[in-house]
Amino acid sequence: MEKKFVLTVMLVIVLYTVLPWILTRMFGIGVFRRGSGAREIAFTFDDGPDPVYTPQLLELLGKYGVKGTFFVLGSKAEAHPELILRIHQEGHLIGVHNYNHRSNWLMLPWSVSRRQVERSAGIIESITGVRPVYYRPPWGIINLCDYLLRKRYTIVLWSVMVQDWRSNVGKERMKSVLLKQIREGSIVLLHDSGDTFGADKDAPGHMLQALEEVFGELSPQSYRYVRIDELTVSPSVVRFTKRMLVKVWMCWERSFVKVMQVKPVDAANTLLQLRITEYRGKQAILLTDGEQIQQGDRIAELHLDNNLLYRLGATSSSSVHLAIQLVRRTELLMPQIIRLLQTDPAYKDVKGLYGISIIHRGTKKLGFTVLDLPKGAFSFATRLYLRFLLYMVHPQGKERLKLKSELLVPKIIAISRKELMSRYIAQP
C-alpha cells in the first residue's frame, strides 16, 4: 500500500510539473513563443519595473522607435506605479510576470491564479486602466493547472534568450548571440532588473549596452519592432500545435491504458473501456433504483477510448452529431457488458458501473444515475483534465470551452448491476 501511495504521489508530481514542461518547452504546446510575420521582431523585458534600469531602457526604446512588451512583477508595479504608467503611456504593452518571482511548480494552482496572476493584473489595471491579457511565468515554468489560465491570458515564452541576467556574459557576447539568433518572428527575452534569484544586480547595464548596438545594426535591415499583441500568428502554426498536442496526448493515453489494465468491452467497438477496481470515494453513491455503491465495493470503472473519440469528433459535422454517435455506440455495448457480468469470473462480484465525465447528457435515458462530484482538489483536477479532453476531441472544442464553460462540469455517472440486468438482455 505504501509503495502504491509513493507511485501515486510521483505520478501526480510528474503530471503537475514535468509534463507541462515537455509540452511547452519542447513542443511549444499551449504557449506562444514565435510569430510568423515577415520582418517582425518582438523584444520583451522581464522582472521589472526597476527604478534604475527601466527608465534607461525606455529612453533607449524611444530613441530607436521600438515598441516592446514588459512582463512585470505585481509587487514592483505596486511599488513603482509611475513607471508602469510611463511604460503604458509610451505605447508599450504590459503583461504579467506573477506578483513575486516564484516558480509555479512550488505553488498550488489557486495560489498562481489568484495570488500571483489575478492580483498582479488588478494592480496593473488600477494604474493604467487596461487589464493585461498576456502572461509569462517566471523562468517560463508552468504547472498543469496553469493551462486553465489560457481562458483569460495568452501564455508567452520566447525563441531567443541570451542569459542577460548574468554579468559575466558581457555586452559583446550578448550582442553576438542576439545578432546570430534573431530571425523573422523572433520573441526575444531580456531583463530590465537584476534583483531576482539567480540574477546579477548590474547585469541589466550590460544588456542595455548590447541592445543599443543591436538596434544600430538591425535597423538597416528594416525589421519591424512590434509588441507581442502585434506579432502575426499563422493559422498553420495553430493547427501544427494541436496536431503535436494530439500526438503527445495519445501516447500518454496508450501508456495509461496499458499500466492501468483498461480493456475495451468490444474489440470492434472500443468506445467503452472497463477497469475492475474498488470504489474509493468517501461518500456512498445512492442510485435511483435504491442500490448503493459504498467504499470498498468492487466496480467496473468506465473509460472512453479517447483515440476513437478524437476520430469521431474530427469527422462529426456538429456537437449534436457527435453526441448521437456516442449514445448509439453505448446502447450497442450494453448487452455485451451484461454478458461480461454474467460469464466473466472477474466481474462476478462487481456491484455496478461507475465513471466521471463531462459528456453525461442522455446517460439518464440509459439508466445511469447522474450526481455532482464532491467539491475539493479531486473535483478541480478532474474538471481540468476533462475540459482539456473536450478541447482535444470536440469538433468546436475551443469555442465550446469559451461559450459553454458553465455547462462543462464533470459528473459522476453510475448504474447498478441490478438496473443493468433489468434494462438490457444479453444476446446469446
The helix/strand/coil state of 134 is strand
Q: What is the DSSP letter of 317?
A: S
Buried b (16+ CB within 10 A) or exposed e, 7-46: eeeeeeeeebbeebeebbeeebbbbbbbbebeebbbbbbb
Alpha helices in 145-276 (DSSP H): 170-181, 203-218, 235-260
| CA–CA dist 266, 305 (Å, integer) | 11
| CA–CA dist 194, 93 (Å, integer) | 21
Collect all residues with Cβ–Cβ distance below 8 Å to 348 and sequence separation of at least 6.
none
| CA–CA dist 114, 119 (Å, integer) | 6
**Angle of helix 53-64 relative to helix 81-89, nearest 10 degrees?**
10
Collect all residues with Cβ–Cβ distance below 8 Å to 320 and sequence separation of at least 6.
none
Query: How far from 306 is each of 46, 77, 171, 252, CA to CA, in Å?
Result: 39, 44, 51, 11
Of the candidates 155, 111, 114, 187, the residue with the CA atom closest to the CA atom of residue 23 = 155
Catalytic residue among 191, 206, 303, 394: 191
Catalytic residue among 46, 50, 297, 305: 46
The residue type found at 262 is V
Decide: 183 and 35 in contact? Cβ < 8 Å: no
Cis-peptide into 109, omega within 30 deg: no
Buried b (16+ CB within 10 A) or exposed e, 189-218: bbbbbbbbeebbeebbbbbbbbbeebbeeb
The helix/strand/coil state of 91 is coil
Q: Is 46 an annotated catalytic residue?
A: yes
| CA–CA dist 309, 392 (Å, integer) | 9
End-to-end CA gap in the chain: 41
Decide: 350 and 398 in contact? Cβ < 8 Å: no
Q: Which residues are catalytic?
A: 46, 191
